Structure 1
Amino acid sequence: MQFEERPVSSETVFRGHLIEVEVQTVLTPQGRQAQREIVHHAPAVALLALTADKQMILEKQWRAPIAKTTLEIPAGKVDSRDQASADHAAVRELNEETRYQADRLTKIAGFYTSVGCMDEYMTLYLATGLRPVDHELPQDADEQLALQTVTLDQALAMIDRGEIEDAKTIMAIYYWRGMKND
């Protein structure tokens, strides 16, 4: 069975600070024309940051697309400061957002965040052996974050109560639950 669509035309309809939106006309394998709206976004990283006392770091922040605050793991985009390195971005974001550095940074998984409309690829890391940074990097001027730590049981209960709704954070918590906790 053939799945691949063939682009016939393409137009960039928006170019912003964070995203670019492209409208494609495609030819489906059945020979029909269809329209695809694609949001292009830089690669991103997210961190399951675990403290020595087995708690995870969460950030409370405002999210304009859903018009409310969320609880999320530290995350951010891979940008020009990182020279296309997700590992570098993970170290930088951990510093900027939590003021910690990790003795161990382990890649958990890479995934597309919303394949129906977006090409953003995110790499999820486990950060352990946390200690305060020696040199604080500047935080993003447009971000206001409040940090908190929670245990695994608290995090799972927060998902059940609908207090944590962010997909990358839920994925990280379920990964944490599946880790061998000796």
Structure 2
Amino acid sequence: MKKGMILMKKFEEKTTHTEKIYDGKVVKLQVDDVVLPDGETSKRELIKHPGAVGVIPITKENKIVFVEQYRKPLEQSLVEIPAGKLEEGEAPKVTAKRELEEETGYTVREPMAFVASFYTSPGFADEMMHLYLAKNLELVGYPATGDDDEFIELVELTLEEAKQYVKNKRIHDAKTNYAVLYLETLERM
């Protein structure tokens, strides 16, 4: 590469204009006008999200703690690992502990183990999910408080039961499927 050349990202789309559509409590929606790598133009509808965490909580009895809650976009209830969005300036590990306590009534005294980070839907959203493993849970309060507009019920399952929930689509979201697969992989090691 010659000195002074600008390095372009492969397939980069240059934004020429951004129209902010909605600024909500959880997400922001914008439409970007972009120039494609071939010089043509297009529009991209984007969701901006502060990021989130998910926790894979394991009790001393080796049960996985899930929460069941209604998901309005799907018009049904799902069984999921506890999760929540990052607050401004909050480290993911801090969010993970807070969400674990709020949603399940459990806490951990030992540090949670980082599992992975991944984009949830990179085709239209910038949400980054951070997963943590929490073992040897201690009950600090029950029932769990959750958010004011959150109605949840705890579900404790063995890994085999969780795998059956995946088969029956009671567990049917990406982060929880990832968590079950992760635990299954650990079990095989």
Tell me if TM exceeds 0.5.
yes
Partner of 1:92: 98
Q: Distance in 2 between the 1:16 and 1:28 partners? A: 29
C-alpha distance in 2 between matches for 1:37 and 1:124: 27
1:177 aligns with 2:184: yes
| SS of 1:48 mapped into structure 2 | strand
Give the structure 2 partner of residue 168 of structure 1: 175
Any residues of structure 2 matched to 1:106-117 within 5 Å, and which? 106-117=113-124
Within-5 A mapping of 1:65-104: 65-80=73-88, 83-102=89-108, 103-104=110-111
Q: Give the TM-score normalised by structure 1.
A: 0.93
Conserved 8 A contact 2:30-2:46: yes
**Cα drift, residue 137 of structure 1:** 8.8
Tell me the distance in 1 between the aligned counterparts of 2:25 and 2:186. 37
Aligned residues: 180
Q: Secondary structure at the match of 1:171?
A: helix
Structure 1 unmatched runs, 5+: none
Task: Say what the alpha-carbon RMSD is for the aligned residues.
Answer: 2.0
Q: CA deviation at 1:2?
A: 3.4
Contact 2:103 2:145 (8 Å CA) reproduced:
no
* Aligned mates of 1:44, 1:159 — CA distance in 2: 22
- Go from structure 1 to structure 2 and tell me whether the alpha carbon gap of 1:158 and 1:138 turns closer, same or farther (over 3 Å shift): closer
Distance 1:139 1:53 in 2: 24
Shift of 1:3: 0.7
Cross-structure match for 2:153: 146
Counterpart CA distance in 2 for 1:73 and 1:100 is 13
Tell me the CA shift for residue 139 of structure 1.
3.0
TM-aligned CA distance change 1:176 to 1:137, over 3 Å: closer
Query: For residues 146 and 167 of structure 2, what CA distance do their matches in structure 1 show?
Result: 31
State whether structure 2 residue 120 is matched by structure 1 residue 131. Answer: no
Q: Does 1:63 align with 2:71?
A: yes
Give the TM-score, by structure 2 length: 0.89
Structure 1 segments of 4+ aligned residues over 6 angstroms from their partners = none
- Per the TM alignment, residue 133 of structure 1 is displaced from its structure 2 partner at its CA by 2.4
In the TM superposition, residue 181 of structure 1 has moved relative to its aligned partner by 6.6
Task: Decide whether the 8 Å contact of 2:21 with 2:29 is kept in 1.
Answer: yes
Paired amino acid for 2:56? L
- CA separation of 1:112/1:32 partners in 2, compared to 1, >3 Å: closer, same or farther? same
Q: What SS does the aligned partner of 1:23 have?
A: strand
Structure with greater proportional strand content = 1
Would you say the 8 A contact 1:60–1:146 is kept in 2? Answer: yes
Q: CA separation in 2, counterparts of 1:73 and 1:131?
A: 17
Structure-1 separation of matches of 2:137 and 2:188: 18
Instruction: Give the % identical residues.
Output: 34
